[in-house]
């Protein structure tokens, strides 16, 4: 019994105080804003009169995931990055609602707050699913759509019409999340192990230890109920760019064919030797087709 208790105490991973995290990862106090009842972390850079880009990160990530792209993008675009509620420096949603519908509501409120009538949405993984769902429901607010290894089609543990199956082992992260364990879960996302540096792992780890973050992440998974994406995707008329690493071990590259079959105005750029996060793992290679896509005028 004592051995089990000692092991539990050794693995127990407490939260990091929010003041400590803000001192490390917050650029400006002005980046913390109240929106629809939740305190969000939002970075808004670049010329305010330039075409707007709204960037949505994936599960367990934060707006920092876009750092390799942001400084180039903000030269000619207004770049708005946010931490979803309960991620990064954004506080958990007091409503307890982490559905895609709630995410859409927050994105609309953010665009309205910033006085942006239309924007290009850029979403990765779960953020990609939120982006294409938003584009399907609010076409009048979308210029273009960029999807990076987007989520949305059924996969093991994520069927259509039923809540996601979140294993008990994953739910233990509420109390147990040592950095080596998190690193093990991050490793499959990168084809090149050298990209997952200690500094990058530390950033992911520390931000996931924000008060309430782990509970919010689990609730987001538990509240995920996929619907057949094909009818929504077929209705999206916005020009769409798909970016996908061929070595993606999280959402298979083969899924890109499903998106191409449904999206009427989509094209795919694939990256050999790259995993689930092209914007982190191959920022220069992935940024080049993005800039070309953004600069090209839609007919």
In total, the chain counts a number of residues equal to 299
Q: Give per-residue pLDDT as tens, 141-192.
A: 999 999 999 999 988 777 888 888 788 777 888 888 999 999 999 999 999 9
Q: Which helix (H) or strand (E) holds 294?
A: helix 283-295
Q: Which helix (H) or strand (E) holds 101?
A: helix 100-113
| Look-up of token digits 């994936």 | 58
Residue (of 25, 69, 4) closest to 277 by Cα position: 69
Report helix angle 198-208 to 18-25, nearest 10.
140
Residues 237/138, Cβ–Cβ less than 8 Å: no
Query: In the predicted model, is pLDDT for residue 8 greater than 50?
Result: no
Q: Give per-residue pLDDT as tens, 42-101.
A: 999 999 999 999 999 999 999 999 999 999 999 999 999 999 999 999 999 999 999 999
Q: Give per-residue pLDDT as tens, 251-274.
A: 999 999 999 999 999 999 999 999
**C-alpha torsion 166→188→214→41, nearest 10:** -130
Residues 28/171, Cβ–Cβ less than 8 Å: no
- Cβ of 6: how many Cβ atoms within 10 Å? 10
Sign of the dihedral through C-alpha 272, 273, 274, 276: positive
* Structure confidence at residue 3 (pLDDT): 44
pLDDT category at 2 given cuts 50, 70, 90 is very low
Sign of the dihedral through C-alpha 156, 162, 163, 168: negative
Domains and CATH numbers, the chain: 2-295 (3.40.50.1820)
* Category of 166 on φ-ψ map: left (φ > 0), alpha (ψ -120 to 50) or beta: beta
For the chain, what is the radius of gyration of the CA atoms?
Answer: 19
């Amino acid at each position: 019994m004592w051995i089990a208790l000692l092991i539990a105490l050794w693995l127990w991973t407490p939260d990091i105080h929010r003041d400590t995290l803000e001192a490390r990862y917050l650029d400006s106090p002005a980046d913390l804003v109240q929106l629809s009842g939740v305190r969000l972390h939002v970075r808004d850079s670049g010329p305010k009169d330039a075409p707007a880009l709204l960037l949505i990160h994936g599960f367990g990530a934060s707006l920092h995931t876009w750092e390799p792209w942001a400084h180039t993008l903000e030269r000619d675009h207004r770049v708005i990055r946010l931490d979803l509620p309960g991620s990064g420096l954004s506080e958990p949603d007091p409503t307890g609602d982490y559905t895609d519908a709630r995410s859409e509501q927050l994105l609309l409120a953010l665009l309205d707050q910033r006085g942006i009538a239309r924007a290009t949405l850029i979403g990765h993984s779960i953020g990609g699913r939120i982006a294409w769902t938003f584009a399907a429901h609010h076409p009048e607010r979308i210029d273009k759509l960029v999807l990076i290894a987007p989520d949305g089609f059924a996969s093991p543990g994520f069927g259509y019409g039923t809540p996601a199956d979140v294993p008990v082992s994953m739910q233990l992260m509420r109390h147990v999340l040592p950095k080596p364990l998190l690193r093990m879960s991050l490793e499959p996302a990168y084809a090149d192990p050298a990209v997952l540096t200690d500094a990058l792992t530390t950033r992911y780890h520390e931000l996931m230890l924000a008060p309430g973050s782990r509970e919010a992440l689990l609730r987001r998974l538990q509240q995920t109920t996929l619907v057949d994406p094909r009818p929504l995707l077929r209705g999206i008329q916005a020009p769409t760019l798909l970016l996908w690493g061929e070595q993606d071990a999280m959402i298979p590259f083969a899924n890109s064919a499903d998106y191409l079959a449904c999206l009427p105005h989509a094209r795919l750029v694939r990256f050999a030797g790259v995993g689930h996060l092209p914007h982190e793992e191959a920022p220069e290679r992935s940024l080049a087709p993005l800039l070309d896509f953004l600069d090209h005028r839609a007919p």
